[in-house]
Chains A and B, each alone.
Chain A
Amino acid sequence: MNTFDIKNLDLFYGDNHALKSINLAIPHKQVTAFIGPSGCGKSTLLRTLNRMNDLIAGVTIKGSVKFDDADIYADVDVRKLRTRCGMVFQKPNPFPMSIWENVAFGQKAQGLTDKKQLDAIVEEALRSAALWDEVKDRLHTHAFGLSGGQQQRLCIARTIAMKPDVILMDEPTSALDPIATAKIESLMENLRKEFTVVIVTHSMSQAKRIADKTAFFLMGELIEHGETQQIFNEPNDSRTRGYISGDFG
């Protein structure tokens, strides 16, 4: 069963053809990694999945992206889509407010005001993001007092609090030190049980460690995709082999 079905997707930034007829299925409740050199379009593709590219002027999209069999560029409410496909960004970007307010933000934006319900959601989300024990005594202190790694887990908790189906991660550990990265990776072991995870990563070892499926992009094209094992051990395309063996990128 597939969470996303991407068919003949083309994306242009103005005249720049950034994604070229992408065809890709992203399976349900698995971790799919997008790898490839900078500028290959992997982040752009990730951002088409929750329509974050809408925020950028001059983007045109052709083809179709189906999420649970509904074309998200045709007949889907964008805000609803984004509550179901949460996103974690490259740099930890907590809001300038308390830890509690950060996690509750999305639900409050949807109109939930009941303090008890929000408390429960905040606790559950922070537990799922493996942050609860570290912050439970200072939920109402400012989020900027947290370390970078904690901030990123807070952003994951903020996303989980929406009870999404999908978590999209755009190089979530590239701004973190190895220890914080290890924590997020171990956290992803739990996330994969509940969510479909799509992660863009620059680290091939990270893709190898955490991804079930891997897709390799180059110059806006999807070169190859399949089981992570197969992509890394016996790639079909010479370009994939070249990238993962470190010949370029």
Chain B
Amino acid sequence: MLSRNQKDLVLNGLIWLSAIFTVFFLLWIVFYIVSNGIAYVDWAFITDNYSRTGDEVGIWPMIVSTIYMVALSLAIAAPIGVMTAIYLTEYAKAGSALVKVIRFCTESLAGIPSIIYGLFGLTFFVGVLGLGFSILAGALTLAILILPVIIRTSEEAIIAVPLAYREASYGLGASRLYTIVRLILPAAMPGIATALVLSIGRIIGESAPVFLTAGMVASIPGSIFDSGRTLTVHLYMLTTELYTQHDWNMAFATATVLIVLVLMINLITKLISSRFNKASY
């Protein structure tokens, strides 16, 4: 039999091992990709155009498409998501049928594999609405995809605003709208901002629903009605055509840019949420 101390030691060891395992793999992946790719990331790689013939291998069009996609998806999903969260927390009667339906829908939406969104976007936005392969069709699809995250996280941020604020505000005769706009939303803003930054990560990270709806034209989109290729889709395309060492290098270089981008977004989320925790209430 193991003594109490020995058991403690074994368990401690296991816990440490698991932690080290996780950290190790994260660092390994990041290191592996960056070390293979960083040598090919230079100013020209970031600012050059891309051509299929291989004359130009830059990722500038993909960066622009990604920015378009992020901005447009958020512009569509953020107002709808935040307003839904406000409705659910401040207006709807807790436990009403409508609330249950909305909750069920957002939870189901969150559980659907993203390729299904792509399929839906392809048939509905691209086909039925006739938007064709375009940034707009992609952004609409991604907007639906990130809605659950925005709704849930914003809801939690709004619920975390102390009841005492609402009481005090209503106690002063302030209207519900005034209370929400002037008191609750500012207090919940760090949490809502976290939701939006998380969604940006999601938008950048998706590939399947994006190439099914926004297509993969690797040039700078002239407008939101043009097709565009985001960074992740670009990486996906590159990895399907890995014939030469050069192809590999370009894939790793693109992956490096993506990873740095995602790490930066995570950092921003951390900064915001640490401000959120310190937020004065």
A contact set with B: CB distance below 8 Å:
50, 52, 55, 57, 79-83, 86-87, 89, 91, 93, 95-96, 105-106, 108-110, 142, 144, 155, 158-159, 162
Give the interface segment out of B7-15, B56-64, B169-177, B206-214.
B169-177
Which residue of B168, B173, B186, B187 has the most chain A CB atoms within 10 A of its CB atom?
A: B173
Cross-chain pairs A/B with CB under 8 angstroms, 16 sampled: A55-B170, A79-B174, A83-B172, A83-B173, A87-B167, A89-B168, A91-B164, A95-B168, A96-B187, A109-B173, A109-B175, A109-B182, A144-B280, A158-B168, A159-B171, A162-B172
Q: Decide: B169 and A109 in contact? CB cutoff 8 A.
A: yes
CB neighbours (8 Å) of A144 from chain B are 280
Which residues of B266-281 have CB atoms within 8 Å of chain A's CB atoms?
279-281
Does A162 lie within 8 Å of B170, measured CB to CB? no
User: B-side interface residues toward A, CB under 8 Å?
Assistant: 93-94, 162, 164-175, 178-179, 182-183, 186-187, 279-281
Q: Is the CB of B174 within 8 A of A105?
A: yes
- Specify which chain B residues have a CB less than 8 angstroms from the CB of A159 in the assembled complex: 171-172
Q: How far is the CA of A142 from the CA of B186 in the complex (A)?
A: 14
Set of chain A residues within 8 Å of B171, measured between Cβ atoms = 50, 52, 82, 86-87, 89, 159
Is A105's CB under 8 angstroms from B172's CB? yes
- 14 additional A-B pairs beyond A55-B170, A82-B170, beta carbons within 8 Å, are A52-B170, A57-B93, A79-B174, A81-B173, A82-B172, A82-B173, A83-B172, A93-B165, A95-B165, A108-B182, A109-B173, A109-B178, A144-B280, A162-B172
State whether A106 touches B93 (Cβ < 8 A).
Answer: no
Chain A contacts of B172 at CB under 8 A?
82-83, 86, 105-106, 109, 158-159, 162
Contacts of B281 in A (CB 8 A): 96
SS of A interface (majority): helix
A51→B172 CA distance, assembly (Å): 12
Closest to B163 in A: A55
A93 contacts B280, C-beta separation under 8 Å: no
Of all chain B residues, the one with the shortest Cβ separation from A92 is B164
Q: How far, in Å, is B200 (CB) from chain A's closest CB?
A: 26
Q: Is the CB of A155 within 8 A of B168?
A: yes
Find the B residue at minimum CB distance from A143: B280
Closest A-chain residue to B161, C-beta based?
Answer: A96
Do the beta carbons of B174 and A93 come within 8 Å of each other?
no
CB of A169 to closest CB in B, whole Å: 11
- A96 and B183 alpha carbons, distance in the complex (Å): 8
Query: Cα distance A155–B93 when bound, in Å?
Result: 29
Q: Which residues of A contact B167 (CB under 8 A)?
A: 52, 55, 87, 89, 93
Residues of A within 8 A of B187 (CB): 96
Interfacial chain B residues near A93, Cβ < 8 Å: 162, 164-165, 167-168
Contact indicator B173/A162 (Cβ below 8 Å): yes
Collect the chain A residues with CB atoms within 8 Å of residue B279's CB. 96
CB distance from A151 to the nearest CB of B (A): 11
Give the distance in Å from the alpha carbon of A55 to the alpha carbon of B93 in the complex.
11
How many Å lie between the Cα of A81 and that of B173 in the bound state?
7
Contact A106 B164 (CB under 8 A): no
**B173 touches which of A57, A80, A89, A142 (Cβ 8 Å):** A80
Chain B residues closer than 8 Å to A142, beta-carbon distance: 280
> In the assembled complex, how far is the CB of residue A183 from the closest CB belonging to chain B, in whole angstroms?
20
In the bound complex, how far is the Cα of B172 from the Cα of A158, in angstroms? 8
10 nearest A-B pairs in the assembled complex, by CB-CB distance: A106-B172, A109-B174, A83-B173, A93-B164, A82-B173, A87-B171, A79-B173, A109-B178, A144-B280, A93-B168
Residues of B within 8 A of A55 (CB): 166-167, 170
Q: Which residues of A contact B280 (CB under 8 A)?
A: 96, 142, 144
Contact yes or no, A105 B169, CB < 8 A: yes
